[in-house]
Amino acid sequence: MPVPTDSLVDSQLSRTPIPIPAIFKEAEHGFSLKKRGRSLCFTAPPRPPAKSPTPISRFFPNKHQSWSQPRPQSVSFRSPEKKSLYSRLYDEGKQELFFDQCFQKICKLGRGSFGEVYKVKSQEDGNLYAVKRSLQQFRGELDRQRKLEEVQKHERVGKHPNCVQFVRAWEERRHLYIQIELCETNLQHFCEERGPLHERQVWAFFCDLLRGLKHLHDRNLVHMDIKPANIFICSRETCKLGDFGLMLELDRGNLSEAQEGDPRYMAPELLNGEYTKAADIFSLGMTILEIACNMDLPKGGEGWQQLRHGYLPLEFTADLSPELLNILTAMLEPDHKKRATVNGLLASPVMRKVETWRGLLLTAKAGIHKVVLVCQFMLSFFCVLWNYMRNPLRWILGHSDRTSRPSSPVPTPPGDCSISSDLEDDSLSEDVFELPGISGSASLLRCSLTYPGEMDGQDYIINNNNPQSPDINKRPSMGSTSTPRNISPEFASAGRRRSILRSSPNMSRISQESPCSQRSTGSSTRSSSRLLDADFQEHGQHSSFEPRNLLSMFEDNAGNKD
């Protein structure tokens, strides 16, 4: 690795090296380019569980604690009194979770150290959201308080176009659920899909992120975990800061609880316990360096030290414009007191220019989007009108024929077979899919059950590898994006095993890691899938169960027609 001969940099590098935490021992020693499409699940093991001792409540469970009761409860720090969760769709008499009753689970979007995030459709308003569900149950009151703090932090952030929007949160059966605005992808996935970004795109994202960061810093909030996996891209490629789980509230004096984020993006002064807004500037600088240079940031070793001594590797930064290089140098200044501030960066002439054209571009995109919507509406309206005018009699007869049929549930389009509203389905799928050769038939059976009436003369073939299937299937990885720690050999081998499973033709579609695992259907088929579950349990063997049910279903169908 060539180190610049510049005497200034040399003198900086010859200073006593910054102590590296023990977890970086195995980290790489130099800089390298990003490998395209590399799966995240091998590099990002989840964080170890909280360090607190085993809670007494484990041994003497306190039945009177309101949060350990089965009823869902709203979580909000704006109104301290406990409120039971209200929804016109929620029926307390049912065993199903509030989440299952009020949302249609579409697929898993990702996983971090705290929770799993699902793409869902709200049954109440029909909109799509992301719901983050804590991975583990509360282990006691302290653990619960710690988890609930993320809600408090979200509420403190408030509304801003460059921060992921919080909707509401609730707890049920010792799990926390946080409903947030749905984003299209995160910056890490975006860069993996698109490869090196054009500098113009980098400036645009940079501008958005600085605005989001200004919103936080103006409120004395420090994000503490800025990295591509915690940056989200929403409609029309707007960048937003998200995952406020490690956020510090400087005016609340909660610095004793501060945790460092990902070591690759971590500011050097954090090792000395200096928690300031400057740490966010450093992490954002690292993020921009990574996406602008397509660089694989080191987790430790010599490369990690060099970046924290103000040395930017020439072989990566050579193509950057002098403006971007200057800004990055100011953001990655080793001394946090001399580092650039968010206001200083936004006030720089180059950033003001970027802000102006970014504003114009977003307005133009929004305008074009509206025009396209109007055109689409007009087109479909004229198509209907044309059909009607061509043959009004057939149209009326056809229409009345269709409406006179006995009412049957609206068939879900094939792509929607992935929609599930049952969290418990995860375990069922795992069992089912351990049996080779059963997956395709099982999905066919489940999707067949979506059409209890006649099939409208169409063949609904569920193609597991269909590129037209829900968009989430195209995600390169849905693995954990949590802060990397040492990868144990067992973890690495487990990861390899998973990848082998995923590449096997029988397992490809239904792996637990699959972004949009195409499991059971929506609410209309929930009872059917329950029947299936019962049948699986009763017969133990899936292969014996399946043909019998398929046949009986066709017989029933034929009988009904007779």
Q: Is 132 in the site for ligand ATP (CB under 6 A)?
A: yes
Q: Which of 450, 483, 528, 529 binds ligand ATP (CB under 6 A)?
A: 483
Give the whole-angstrom CA distance, residue 82 versus residue 66.
9
Dihedrals phi, psi of 70, to nearest 5 degrees: -70, -20
Q: Is 112 in the site for Mg ion (CB under 5 A)?
A: yes
Report CA torsion sign: 303, 304, 307, 309: negative
Contacts of 59 (CB under 8 A, 6+ apart): none
Q: Determine the size of the site formed for Mg ion (CB under 5 A).
A: 5
Give least dist CB 197 to ligand ATP, A.
Answer: 18
Q: Which two tokens stand for residue 506?
A: 């029988």
Q: Which of 100, 143, 208, 225 is catalytic?
A: 225
Q: Is 562 exposed, middle or buried (0-12, 13-18, 19+ CB in 10 A)?
A: exposed
Q: Is 245 in the site for Mg ion (CB under 5 A)?
A: yes
Q: Is 41 in the site for ligand ATP (CB under 6 A)?
A: no
471 in catalytic set: no
Give least dist CB 496 to ligand ATP, A.
Answer: 22
Q: Which of 130, 340, 345, 351 binds ligand ATP (CB under 6 A)?
A: 130
Give the whole-angstrom CA distance, residue 419 versus residue 407.
22
Q: Is 328 in the site for ligand ATP (CB under 6 A)?
A: no
Q: How far is CA 333 from CA 9, 156, 283, 320, 337, in A?
A: 12, 29, 11, 18, 9
Q: Is 282 in the site for ligand ATP (CB under 6 A)?
A: no
Q: Are 263 and 18 in contact (CB under 8 A)?
A: no
Give the whole-angstrom CA distance, residue 92 versus residue 71.
8
Q: Which of 117, 231, 293, 442 binds ligand ATP (CB under 6 A)?
A: 117
Q: Is 113 in the site for ligand ATP (CB under 6 A)?
A: yes
Q: Are 426 and 500 in contact (CB under 8 A)?
A: no
Beta bridge partners of 157: none
> What residues form the annotated binding site for ATP?
132
Alpha carbon 461 to its chain centroid, in Å, reads 29
In this complex, which beta carbon is closest to ligand ATP, that of residue 112 or of residue 313?
Answer: 112
Q: Is 176 in the site for ligand ATP (CB under 6 A)?
A: no
Cα diameter, the chain: 92
Give the whole-angstrom CA distance, residue 334 versus residue 380.
59
In this complex, which beta carbon is closest to Mg ion, that of residue 114 or of residue 203?
Answer: 114
In this complex, which beta carbon is closest to Mg ion, that of residue 134 or of residue 230?
Answer: 230
Give least dist CB 233 to ligand ATP, A.
Answer: 9
In this complex, which beta carbon is closest to ligand ATP, that of residue 68 or of residue 483?
Answer: 483
Q: Which two tokens stand for residue 366?
A: 């929004």
Q: Is 479 in the site for Mg ion (CB under 5 A)?
A: no
Residue carrying the six token digits 């009761």:
69
Q: Is 43 in the site for ligand ATP (CB under 6 A)?
A: no
Q: Is 103 in the site for ligand ATP (CB under 6 A)?
A: no
Coil, strand or helix at 194: helix
Q: Which of 134, 188, 230, 443 binds Mg ion (CB under 5 A)?
A: 230
Q: Are 142 and 55 in contact (CB under 8 A)?
A: yes
Q: Which does 445 bind (CB under 5 to 8 A by kind): Mg ion, ligand ATP, none?
A: none
Comparing CA positions, the residue from 61, 166, 161, 41 lying closest to residue 112 is: 41
In this complex, which beta carbon is closest to ligand ATP, that of residue 186 or of residue 529?
Answer: 186
Span near ligand ATP by CB under 6 A; candidates 10-18, 111-119, 398-406, 465-473: 111-119
233-262 residues near ligand ATP, rule: CB under 6 A: 242-243, 245
Strand (E) or helix (H) holding 143: helix 141-157
Q: Which residues are catalytic?
A: 225
Name the residues that contact ligand ATP, by CB under 6 A: 109-115, 117, 130, 132, 164, 180-183, 186, 229-230, 232, 242-243, 245, 481-483
Name the residues that contact Mg ion, by CB under 5 A: 112, 114, 230, 243, 245
